[in-house]
Structures are given as structure tokens and as C-alpha cells.
Amino acid sequence: MTVVALLSVAPVTEQSMADEVAKAVEALEEYDVGYETNPMGTVIEADSTDELFAAAQAAHEAVDGDRVSTVLKIDDKRTRDAAASEKVEAVEEALGRPASSDR
Amino acid sequence: MTVVALLSVAPVTEQSMADEVAKAVEALEEYDVGYETNPMGTVIEADSTDELFAAAQAAHEAVDGDRVSTVLKIDDKRTRDAAASEKVEAVEEALGRPASSDR
Amino acid sequence: MTVVALLSVAPVTEQSMADEVAKAVEALEEYDVGYETNPMGTVIEADSTDELFAAAQAAHEAVDGDRVSTVLKIDDKRTRDAAASEKVEAVEEALGRPASSDR
Amino acid sequence: MTVVALLSVAPVTEQSMADEVAKAVEALEEYDVGYETNPMGTVIEADSTDELFAAAQAAHEAVDGDRVSTVLKIDDKRTRDAAASEKVEAVEEALGRPASSDR
């Protein structure tokens, strides 16, 4: 199986969050997951929910702050071994073009 | 500290989801968390992120289905011991009325 | 049809958010929606997506702040007229008990 | 200002969702927004919340299905004109490397 997720971890602070978000991303390196950060979070792909939840918790804890806000959205396809990238490819095939704007 | 979260676990199925959602709720009983289900998920309150992530993973795994969609949204107030209910009470105090419609 | 959603609107600030969240809740009064605030957001129920999106946008805009973080999660059952409360009742029937902890 | 969001629209169906997700992406073309689809949703960037909410609603309605599940997560930076891409660049500068795995 492949489990794909989006993880967003952010300290609730009026300061720039980039340094803290970087700590969350760095924490993922200790786990057997693939990941890629986009402007609204980090897409994570793992072979097991154990690995996914452990990585997400580590990322959450790596961020310092009195208050930390985290969102984890999971798409757990239990009977298929589809890479995360295939989800975008299938949409682009249906669209007949890249799934992004020219803007 | 108190960590409060919203957890939604749902099998991606055209059938009724209630039986599967009930399994997710039942799974929480094995953990030291408080919880209450609302129409869009279950609010969970825990004393540690360890307990929260363990409970959320167990709820996710308790739901059967070829594809399961889960959302976990965490508000981790690390320097305060505020019960989840106090969040609503503070909003209602600011509103000067219950934070719900008459409808 | 009935569309049910969870809306969370929060200013990204180290101060207490209750006053701002109260403004978001108050904004809902101008729309033909039912709502009830829980510790992680406000469950909204509307008869149309027009009304839901208009209410959600108004709540988002009612909150002051240099940076505002909003999450809107929608469950749009287009062929059924089920009240939001029936979702919890169905889970509780499957559980055979209230869907909340004693804690 | 620039408002950045993640939008996920999915029919609750056991069939492949790619055709329906493509309709949601196509609907964005009618709005003055930038967007790019990733494996867990589409990052949208707009100059106003009006444009963002209108585009999100259109995408939600473009997807056919008896039950449609949508998540919209908004980061509204009201006092800054920062492109969505700058958020990732700031994290990568803090990391000192690309914010993605080699895997």
C-alpha cells in the first residue's frame, strides 16, 4: 500500500515562520518517507501508516512555539501501490494539459 | 499542556459510513483522551502529543475500507492547561450569547 | 440537499483569539445557516452551497488581523436532506452509546 | 495582498476520481487565480478573497457526485504581496537545500 498525506505545521506567531517550518521538514529526514513541500504544506508518501504518523508527530514536535497549529490530511489507499505523483498524472491525463495555470 | 484536535476518519464509500465511523470512535476508548463527536468529526483532548497521535492512528486503522480519508487538525497550546471547553466559553463570553444558531 | 461544513477562522496572533473568533461567529447570523461552535471550529449547515460559501467568506473577512488562517471542510450530500445532527445520531446508534468520553 | 490556499475537491466514490478532479481544476480557469495541482490538492493564489471563494465554489460545484467532500485551507496575508512560491523559497533558504526528499 501507499499512503499519501499533506502535512502543515506552523507556529502561531506574528514572526516569519520559515525557520520553524524548516525544522519540521528537516525532521522528516529521519523517517522512511518521500516528501515535497508546496506553498501550503508538505506532501508525504509512506509505505505504512506507522511511518507516516511517526514522521508527522516528529515534524509537529520539531517546531518550537508556545502554540503550534498542525493539519494532517491522509489519503490511505490500502489496496494499491500508487505513487503520489500518479495522482497528478491521472488528473493531467483527464485534463489533456498540465494541472497548473500559466499565470 | 493540553492539546486539542479535531479528527475525521471516513472510508471513501458510497455506503453509509456510520458503522465505520463508530469503529474509529470506539478505538479512542483505549487511550487516555477526552473526546466528543460532532457532525464533522471528533474533538479530542489529550495531555500529550504522544497520546493524541497514538489515538488518532488507532482510529484511522480501526476503519475498514479500501480507501480511507482522514483529517487531523491540532491546536497544541504548550504553555497552558486549558480544557477544550474553555475555548468555546471564551468565544461565548466575547459574543455575550451561546455560539450557536436558534435554527 | 443539505450541506454540512466545519469552519475554523483564526487570526495568526500570539494574543487571545476569542474576540476575533466571536466576530466570525457573529457574521454567520446574516446568513440562512444553522451553526454551532465546538472547540475546533463551527459546524455550519445550509440548504445551498451558495449560502455556505457566502457565510464562510463573511466569517473569514469579519476577523481582523494581518494574517488570518481559515479551514473550511465541506460534506455535500446532494441527494439527501439529512440534518447535521443525524450524522452523530447514526454513529451513536452504531456505537450503542453516546459518542463522547466520560472524562 | 495575496491570498494563498489549498483546495481539495473529491467525489465520495469507489471509482477513480481523476475525471472529476479534472473538472474542478478546469473550473479554476474561469477565475483570475494562479494554481498548481499536487497529489493532495491544488494550491491557489489570488489577489482577493472574493476571487478565491468564487473559484473554490465553482470548483466544488464542477465535480459531479451524490456526495462531494471539499477542503479549503486559506493563508490570508493581508499586508503583504508575497507570491506563493516565496513561501517555499523561504523554507528552502532556512534549510539550505531543496524542501523535498531524494526518494
Q: Which residues of D touch A33 (CB under 8 A)?
A: 101, 103
Best of B70, B75, B80 to mutate (most A CBs within 10 Å, chain A): B70
Considering only CA atoms, which of A56, A30, A38, A34 is closest in space to residue A47? A34
Residue with cell string 494550491? D43
State yes or no: pLDDT of D7 exceeds 70: yes
Structural domain that includes position B85: 2-95
The answer to the question of residue A37 being in a domain is yes
D38 Cβ neighbours under 8 A, 6+ residues apart: A6, A36, A38, A43, A88
Q: Which chain C residues have a beta carbon less than 8 Å from that of B42?
A: 99
Report the alpha-carbon distance of residue B41 to residue C43 in Å, rounded: 10
| Residue C58 to chain B, least CA–CA distance (Å) | 16
> Is B103 contained in some domain?
no
- The predicted model gives A33-49 an average pLDDT of 97
Residue D57: closest C-alpha in chain C:
C53
Stronger pLDDT, A71 or D79, i.e. the higher one: A71
Q: What is the reported pLDDT for D2? A: 87
Residue B52 lies in a domain: yes
Average pLDDT, chain C: 95
C-alpha cell at B93: 463570553
Give the per-residue pLDDT at C57: 98
In this complex, which chains have at least 3 CB pairs below 8 Å with chain B?
A: A, C, D
**CA neighbours closer than 13 Å in the CB half-sphere of residue A59:** 31
In this structure, is residue D103 part of a structural domain?
no
Give D66's contacts in chain B (Cβ within 8 Å): 14
Q: For residue D4, give the nearest of A25, A35, A39 by CB distance.
A: A39
Domain count, chain A: 1
Candidates D9, D13, D14, D63, partner chain B, best to mutate (most B CBs within 10 A): D14
Instruction: Give the domain CATH number at A54.
Output: 3.30.70.930
Residue A67 is predicted with a pLDDT of: 95
Calpha distance C68→B76 (Å, rounded): 18
Nearest alpha-carbon partner for B49 in C13, C6, A54, A40: A54
Q: How many CB pairs under 8 A join C and D?
A: 71
How far apart are the C-alpha atoms of D89 and D82, rounded to whole Å?
A: 11
DSSP at B29: T
In a domain, residue D102? The reply is no
Shortest CA distance from A91: residue in chain D = D18
Question: How far D23 CA sits from the closest chain B CA (Å)?
Answer: 19
Inspect the interface and report whether the beta carbons of A66 and C13 lie closer than 8 Å.
no
Instruction: Return the C-alpha cell found at B56.
Output: 488518532
> Given a contact as 3+ CB pairs under 8 Å, which chains touch C?
A, B, D
- Is B102 part of a structural domain of the chain? no
In angstroms, the Cα distances linking B50 to A20, A24, B59, C83 are 20, 17, 14, 35
**A contact set with B (CB within 8 A):** 49-50, 53, 56-57, 60-61, 65-79
Higher pLDDT, B15 or D24: D24
Q: Which pLDDT score, from 0 to 100, does residue B103 have?
A: 58
Instruction: Select from B4, B19, B93 the Cβ nearest to the Cβ of C39.
Output: B4
Binning pLDDT at 50, 70 and 90, where does residue C58 land?
A: very high
Express each pLDDT in D41-51 by its tens digit: 999 999 999 99
At B15-67, the pLDDT tens digits run 889 999 999 999 999 999 999 999 999 999 999 999 999 999 999 999 999 99
* Residue A88 placed within a domain: yes
Helix axes B18-28, C84-95, angle to 10 degrees: 70
User: Residue A12 and residue B77: Cα distance in Å, rounded?
Assistant: 10
Q: Evaluate whether residue C102 is within a structural domain.
A: no
pLDDT digits (tens, 9 = 90+) for C63-97: 999 999 999 999 999 998 888 999 999 999 999 99
Q: Region A82-93: what's the mean pLDDT?
A: 93
| Closest-CA residue to D46 (of D33, D59, D31, D60) | D33
Q: A13-28, pLDDT tens digit by residue?
A: 998 899 999 999 999 9
pLDDT digits (tens, 9 = 90+) for C3-38: 999 999 999 999 889 999 999 999 999 999 999 999
Q: For position D103, what pLDDT does the model report?
A: 58
Q: Tell if the CB–CB gap between A8 and D73 is shorter than 8 Å.
A: yes
Q: What pLDDT was estimated at residue A103?
A: 58
pLDDT at D80 over 90: no
Candidates B72, B66, B58; CA nearest to B12 is B66
Residue C103 in this model has a pLDDT that exceeds 70: no
Q: Please list every residue in chain B whose beta carbon sits closer than 8 Å to the beta carbon of residue A70.
A: 72-74, 76
Nearest Cβ partner of A49 from B50, B61, B75? B61
pLDDT of residue D58: 98
Q: Residue D18's pLDDT is what?
A: 94
Quick check: D18 and A91 CB within 8 A? yes
